[in-house]
A = this chain, B = another copy of it.
Amino acid sequence: MSNRRDAVHAILRQSEGFRSAQDVYAEMRAEGAKIGLTTVYRALQALADIGHVDMLRTDDGESVYRACASGHHHHHLVCRTCGRTVEVAGPAVERWAETVGSEHGFTEITHTVEVFGTCASCSEALKMAGASSSF
């Protein structure tokens, strides 16, 4: 019973962007892995706890996870159409967060920053499909 965490982590590592728990579960089952949904959730949470994966909530309330290339702090730039993700560092934001925090007397400041946009290829694609937004 090798730690299923490793199996789950492996899936995330071979994935490009963020994956939902259900998604990871589905893929593992598809690959023939014998694992339960419960275990996937537990593994994902454990992984997130020890900082081996990033975890965030999508706008529709689903938790998505991603194996980070590095353990250091960074943010994500996500294409709202195709989901492509780019890791970005933002010293400016870090400093800004610290600053506004302390200005208001806050300590132990953390922050959540997600940048969304439409990536080059998707905006191309949209230009064609669009033009019919009547509202």
Contacts and interface: CB of A to CB of B under 8 A. Distances in A.
Q: How many copies does the complex hold?
A: 2
Interface of A: 57, 59, 61, 63, 77, 79-80, 86, 88, 90, 92-93, 96-97, 100-101, 104-120, 123
15 contacts: A57-B61, A77-B100, A79-B106, A86-B104, A90-B96, A92-B93, A92-B96, A101-B117, A106-B115, A106-B117, A107-B117, A108-B118, A109-B115, A111-B116, A112-B114
A80 B92 CA distance: 23
B112 A116 contact: yes
Nearest to A86: B104
Contacts of A105: 119-120
A107 B86 CA distance: 14
